[in-house]
Chain A
Amino acid sequence: MKQRTNLCWVSVAVIALGCATAYSARGDQNPAFAKANQDYSEGHFQEAVDGYQELVKSGQWSANLFYDLGNAWFRLGNFGEAILNYERALALDPHHPEAAANLALVRNEARALELRRDGIEHYIEAGTSTQYSIAASIAFWVVLFGAARLFFSRRRSAALVSLIIFSTIVFVASIFALYSLETGSKGRDLAIVTGKNIEARLATADNANSILALPPGSEVKVLSQRGDWLYAALPNDLRGWIRANGAQRVRM
């Protein structure tokens, strides 16, 4: 009994130590990040952008970093880059309230066009990819464990069968939601127009007929790439070619 109590205390100590370490690490400011924030607060927005971009290049991606970078681009008047970075912040943390608020504001300012979402997509976007992944995983294992129990039990329990059916539905729904999120308008192929005077064209030539003028910050869904041109689904439900250097994918 005494040994078990001691074991509990040791466990609590280890967890507390871990939390303290994590807290102290969070509190420790990255010097480059702090410098970029300092530049921003002093109104040196170009320097701030450079500082944030160095952090991005070094792979220290976080929703807050992209959010701050978006703010700096907004101060420089580059709405396309600002919207791109807010979108990246939201891709990393779909429930980032500041990024969502600033994105709405800048999109309104830039009159950027958004890809059309159908009704199901609106509902699916209430959850995140992580949540659906975990739900699918749990449901999958519940189904397997339930099936194993059903197999070895002598009589079938109605509750167990109901649980298996429910978990199967949850699993299928989660997989569908994941697929829709990945291939939908906010999925892996989402790109933001960052160039100016970008027009979607009927063919891969600058003198080809224009389909749609895309203000900076507009959303497109990249379908394929041919050389310097991207073939993309456009906000007006049409498809067209845009210069590859005129748009950037949200997911890096």
Chain B
Amino acid sequence: MHRSRLKPSLLARAAVAALALVALAGPASAEEPSVTAVLTSSEAAVGQAVQLQIQVKGDRNAAPPSEISVDGLEIHSTGQMQSFEMRNFNMTSSVTFNYTILPLRAGRFVIPPQSLRVGNNSLRTPELTLRVTDSPNQSSQSNPGGGAADPKKSTFAELIVPKTTAYVGEMIPVVVRVGFEIQTRVRNIPPELDLPGQGFTKQKMRASEGRQTIGGKTYQIFTYKTAIAAVRTGTIEIGPVAVPAVVLVPQSRNRSFPQNPLGLSDPTLDSFFNDPWLAGSVPREIKLTTERVNIEVKALPPHAPPTFGGAVGNFTMTADANPKSVQVGDPITVTARVSGRGNFDRVTAPVFEDEHGWHKYPPSADFKQDDDVGISGAKTFETVLSPNERKDKIPTQLFTYFDSLKEQYVTLRAEPIPVRVEGGNAPAAAAPATAATAPAAAAAPSTAPQQHDILHQLTDLPVAPQSFTPLFARQSFWLAQLFPLLALLGYVGWKMRRAHLDNREAQRREALQREATELQRSLRRDDTPPQEYFSRASRAVQLKTALARNVDPNTVDAEIVASVFHADEETRRRLRLLFEKSDEVRYSGSGQNGTRLVPLETRKEVLDLIESLRG
């Protein structure tokens, strides 16, 4: 009874412990704090605002950077957003600091790395570059006014597209922001949005939530982000984006409380009890719609370099190789890291300038994005190269992209990486040729000319045709196993027969031992007649000798006994007398008429003699 009461208690404790473990494991498994900084556009015109977002992941208590000041740019903080995300029971939190940058003059501006305090650590944002032009045609911000944030309204929806001109394949970040004044209670809003329009690639936009103060009013902001890439030239239309939402609207009351329930006449209490929220609220579906945005898409310039694979943006490249000292034929992993901002789906592995003497395997790619939409990040390619001959460097790697700011193709070159390839002095293809035709050439293979033609024909054919069937799958192989099998069976049979024979020998020895014991016992008794006594005594000696030397007891005589037991002369004499007496009694019949019993002294003498026989 007590046990049954205890059980639920134990279960409850286990459950609490498990929950505690989960709670403890959660923060433990959280990712390391990291920081990214992204401009909504790296190009703008004078007077046109650009958004800067600094996002800290893994710690939402991060302190914002101190004032950012760049000569020629007016940078203002516009608030911060906190968000939580849970994927596969792994919760991540982040805080985003928003800034508006207003360019005051044309030029190229560098926003230096900013330090942020995260716990006891300090993180630094990457350096950002903003190009500002005079021409308003090179516009960077399209913030359609119709649905944009208006302090007079309690809700708004805006479609932010930072560029109005772009190249085919160029990635353009698109943001849809939906704001509700903080008093408006949002019951339901779609977690994902689809961006309407044609002529561009797109992805679903996921919502993130935050708060922002605009014009003195605090809004609950839902931000949907994506990036698009135009696939054709001409004008493409984006939007309008319709965002359905369900908000709770206060129920209207016909009249106010005639008297507050406390019965006190106080204007403050009256206004409290006449608050419309106290009357309850009803859900109402609303639809917020942004305006449409047009983008003019231009074709990429002709005469692209042959190494161009379709990447558009702004990239840098670094390369490394490991190991740097190998033998001919061993693999070397060459790592190329292309980082920057652009259409990473079209970023292909760098091309090796001269692959001669190398065997190249298809590269693998791994992309790690720095932002929410995959425009900014780094793509790492790992290519396995295997040298066919001695080499001292990995060939130069080339990566070409189209720079949409400079409006020209740019080819990045990773300088040759020094390596040491040893062994296999000549090219792999030439080795057999030198071995077969010119031993002298093999002695100085480093100077052997590189082979560019195949080797000669062979004119020999084997006697019997060869087979692709592996040896173990051939009938002959299994038939051949019969020989060791038969040998094994023969060995086992022979061993078993030996064991059987050994067993018979043991049985025989046991019988002899038993007989010897029986005889010795009878010799000690005084009821044995003399004609049998000496016969038994000699038999006992024979048995003892036979057991000692594993011989037939019937073939044992006095001399054999003496030699087996290394008897002295006196013992030898007594043995002879014993055997003679036994023969005499057995063959002549003497003793049958004599005394009935053997004298005690004689018995003792015979027993002593038998006892003295020791090997």
Interface residues of A (CB under 8 A from B): 22, 25-26, 29-30, 33-34, 37, 40-41, 59-65, 67-68, 71, 74, 88, 91-93, 97-98, 100-102, 104-108, 113-114, 116, 129-130, 133-134, 136-137, 141, 144-145, 148-149, 152, 178, 181-182, 212, 235-237, 251-252
Task: Tell which of B361, B435, B477 touches A116, judged by Cβ atoms closer than 8 Å.
Answer: B361
Interface residues in B491-515 (C-beta closer than 8 Å to A): 491-492, 495-496, 498-499
Q: Which of B453, B463, B465, B488 contacts A26 (CB 8 A)?
A: B463
Q: Report yes or no: A104 in contact with B454, Cβ–Cβ below 8 A.
A: no
Contacts of A145 in B (CB 8 A): 484, 487-488, 491
Are B431 and A59 within 8 A (Cβ)? no
Cβ 8 A contact of B471, one of A93, A107, A134, A252:
A134
Contact of A105 (CB < 8 Å), options: B454, B470, B487: B454
Contact of B495 among A29, A40, A148 (CB under 8 A): A148
Find out whether the CB atom of B457 lies under 8 angstroms from the CB atom of A60: no
Given contacts A59-B465, A129-B471, contact A98 B458 (CB under 8 A): yes
Query: What A residues does B495 contact at CB under 8 A?
Result: 148, 152
B472 and A129: CB pair below 8 A? yes
Known: A22-B463, A61-B465, A63-B466. A133 touches B472 (CB 8 A): yes
Inter-subunit contact A237/B429 (CB<8 Å): no
B451 proximity list for chain A (CB < 8 A): 101, 105
Cβ of B428 within 8 Å of any chain A Cβ, yes or no, is yes
> In the complex, how many angstroms separate the beta carbon of A186 from the nearest chain B beta carbon?
12
Q: A61-B466, A141-B484 are in contact. Are A235 and B362 (CB under 8 A)?
A: yes
Q: Is A64 a contact of B472 with CB atoms below 8 Å?
A: no
B430 proximal to A (CB < 8 A): yes
Jot down 13 A-B pairs with beta carbons below 8 A, ordered by A: A30-B461, A33-B459, A34-B459, A61-B465, A64-B458, A64-B461, A68-B457, A104-B428, A105-B452, A136-B472, A152-B492, A152-B496, A237-B364
Bound together, the chains give a CA A25 to CA B465 distance in angstroms of 12
CB-CB contacts of B356-378 with A at 8 A, as 1s and 0s?
10010110100000000000000
* Minimum Cβ distance to chain B for residue A129 (Å): 4
> What is the minimal beta-carbon distance from B131 to any residue of chain A, in angstroms?
37
CA distance A182 to B472 in the complex (A): 11
B302 within 8 A of A: no
* C-alpha gap A149/B491 in the complex (Å): 9
Tell whether, in the assembled complex, residue A235 and residue B488 are in contact, meaning their CB atoms are under 8 Å apart.
no
Can you name 4 extra interface pairs (CB under 8 A) apart from A60-B461, A61-B467, A106-B454?
Answer: A60-B465, A67-B458, A148-B488, A152-B496
Interface residues of B in 407-432 (CB under 8 A from A): 428-432
Contact residue among B362, B428, B498 (Cβ-Cβ distance under 8 Å from A101): B428
Residues of A within 8 A of B356 (CB): 108
Out of A62, A107, A108, A252, which one reaches B462, CB within 8 Å?
Answer: A62
Q: Check if A102 sits within 8 Å of B454, measured CB to CB.
A: yes
Alpha-carbon distance A224/B499, docked complex (angstroms): 56
User: DSSP majority for the A interface?
Assistant: helix
B385 to chain A, nearest CB (A): 12
B-side contacts of A91, CB under 8 Å: 468
Tell me the bound Cα distance from A26 to B464 in angstroms: 9
Q: How far is the CA of A91 from the CA of B467 in the complex (A)?
A: 9
- In the complex, what's the smallest C-beta–C-beta distance from A32 to chain B, in angstroms? 10
Chain A neighbourhood of B458, CB < 8 A: 64, 67-68, 98
Which residue of B388, B455, B459, B481 is within 8 Å of A98 (Cβ)? B455
Assembled-state Cα–Cα distance A97/B431 (Å): 9
On whether A92 and B466 interact (CB within 8 A), knowing A101-B431, A137-B481, the answer reads yes
Measured in the bound complex, the distance between the Cα atoms of B471 and A133 in whole Å is 7
B174 interfacial by beta-carbon distance below 8 Å = no
> Which B residues touch A129, using CB under 8 A?
470-472
CA distance A114 to B358 in the complex (A): 13
Closest A residue to B356 by beta carbon equals A108
Residues of B contacting A30 in the complex (Cβ-Cβ under 8 angstroms)? 461
Interface residues on B, range: 35 or more
| Contact partners of B477 in chain A: CB under 8 A | 133, 137
Using A40-B457, A68-B458, A97-B432 as known contacts, say yes or no to A116 and B471 having CB atoms under 8 A apart: no
Q: Is there an interface contact between B429 and A104, defined as CB atoms closer than 8 Å?
A: yes
Any chain A CB within 8 A of the CB of B575?
no
Contact for B362 among A29, A141, A212, A252, CB less than 8 A: A212
| Residues of A close to B488: CB separation below 8 A | 141, 144-145, 148
**Smallest beta-carbon distance A56→chain B, Å:** 10
**A127: min CB distance to chain B, Å:** 12
* Smallest CB gap from B384: residue in A: A116
Is the contact region of chain B dominated by helix, strand, or loop, or is it mixed? loop
Closest to A153 in B: B495
Bound-complex Cα distance A99 to B151 (A)? 80
**A178:B472 contact, CB within 8 angstroms:** yes
**Complex Cα–Cα for A74 and B359 (A):** 19
Distance in Å: Cβ of B505 to nearest Cβ of chain A = 15
Query: CA–CA, A40 to B455, complex, Å?
Result: 13
Q: Please, how many angstroms separate the alpha-carbon atoms of A100 and B433 in the complex?
A: 11
A158 to B361, CA, bound (A): 50
Establish whether residues A101 and B433, one from each chain, have CB atoms under 8 Å apart when the complex forms: yes
Q: Which of B431, B433, B453, B463 counts the most A-chain CB atoms under 10 A from its CB?
A: B463
Q: For the complex, what is the distance from the CA of A34 to the CA of B460, rounded to whole Å?
A: 9
Is the Cβ of B362 less than 8 Å from the Cβ of A26? no
Q: Which residues on the A side are within 8 Å of B496 (C-beta)?
A: 152
B498: which A residues are within 8 A, CB to CB?
152
| Cβ contact within 8 Å between B454 and A252 | no
Given contacts A114-B361, A145-B491, A212-B362, whether A98 and B432 have CB atoms under 8 Å apart is: yes
- Chain A residues near B429: list those with CB within 8 A: 101-102, 104-105, 108
Given contacts A74-B454, A252-B468, whether A37 and B459 have CB atoms under 8 Å apart is yes
How far, in Å, is B173 (CB) from chain A's closest CB? 27
Residues of B within 8 A of A251 (CB): 468
B436 at the interface (CB under 8 A from A): yes
Write out the residue numbers on chain A whose beta carbons fall within 8 Å of the beta carbon of B480.
137
Q: Which of B361, B431, B433, B462 is the most central at the interface, judged by chain A CB atoms within 10 Å of its CB?
A: B462
Of all chain B residues, the one with the shortest Cβ separation from A152 is B495
A-B complex: 9 closest residue pairs judged by Cβ atoms: A97-B432, A236-B362, A133-B471, A133-B472, A251-B468, A105-B429, A152-B495, A141-B484, A64-B458
- Give, as a whole number of angstroms, the nearest-CB distance from A88 to chain B: 8
Q: Residues of A contacting B452 with CB < 8 Å?
A: 105
B481 touches A108 (CB 8 A): no
* Contact pick for A65, options B388, B461, B472, B491, CB 8 Å: B461
The distance from the CB of A143 to the nearest CB of chain B, in whole angstroms, is 11
Q: Please, which residue of chain A has its CB at the minimum distance from the CB of B358?
A: A108
In the complex, chain B residues whose CB is within 8 Å of the CB of A98: 432, 436, 455-456, 458
Contact of A71 among B431, B457, B463, B465 (CB under 8 A): B457
- Minimum CB–CB distance from A153 to chain B (whole Å) comes to 9
A contact residues around B499 at 8 Å (CB): 152
Residues of A within 8 A of B481 (CB): 137
Least Cβ–Cβ distance between B287 and chain A, in angstroms: 37
Residue of B nearest to A131 (CB): B471
Contact A182 B470 (CB under 8 A): yes
Whether B471 lies near A97 (C-beta < 8 A) is no
Q: Which chain B residues border A236 with CB–CB below 8 Å? A: 362, 364
Whether B461 and A33, one on each chain, are in contact in the complex, defined by CB atoms closer than 8 angstroms, is yes
Contacts of B471 in A (CB 8 A): 129-130, 133-134
> B361–A26 contact, CB under 8 A?
no
Flag if B455 contacts A102 (CB, 8 Å): yes
Contact A108 B466 (CB under 8 A): no
Query: What is the distance, in angstroms, from A176's C-beta to the closest C-beta of chain B?
Result: 13
Contacts of B470 in A (CB 8 A): 129-130, 133, 178, 181-182
